[in-house]
Structure 1
Amino acid sequence: MHELSLVKALVDLLEKEAREKNWGRVTKVTLRIGSMRQVIPDVMAFSFDIATKESPMEGAELEMLELPVELRCRSCGKEWEKGPFLCPHCGSSDVEIRQGMELEIESVEVEDQDAPKDQHTQVCNGG
Structure 2
Amino acid sequence: MHEFSTAQTIIESILKVAEKHNAKRVTEVNLEIGALTMLNSEQLIFSLTILSEKTIVEGAKFNINYTPVKLKCLNCGYESIIDSESLVNFEWTEFIFQLKCLKCQSREVEVIEGKSCIIKDIKVKV
Fold conserved (TM > 0.5)? yes
> Are 1:2 and 2:16 matched, yes or no?
no
Check whether the contact 2:18–2:124 (CA below 8 A) recurs between aligned residues: no
Q: Which has the higher contact order (CA 8 A, sep 6+)?
A: 2
Q: CA RMSD in A?
A: 1.5
Any residues of structure 2 matched to 1:1-127 within 5 Å, and which? Answer: 1-82=1-82, 84-111=98-125, 113=126
CA distance in 2 between counterparts of 1:52 and 1:88 reads: 42
TM-score in terms of structure 2 length: 0.81
- Size of the aligned set, in residue pairs, is 112
The one-character-per-residue Cα deviations of 1:81-110 (angstroms, maximum 9, x if unpaired) are 337312233232220112111211111000
Unpaired segments of 5 or more residues in structure 1?
114-127
Tell which deviates more after alignment, 25-34 or 93-102.
Answer: 93-102
Q: Structure 2 vs 1, CA of residues 88 and 13 (structure 1 numbering), >3 Å: closer, same or farther?
A: closer
Unpaired segments of 5 or more residues in structure 2?
83-94
The one-character-per-residue Cα deviations of 1:26-52 (angstroms, maximum 9, x if unpaired) are 000001100000010100110011000
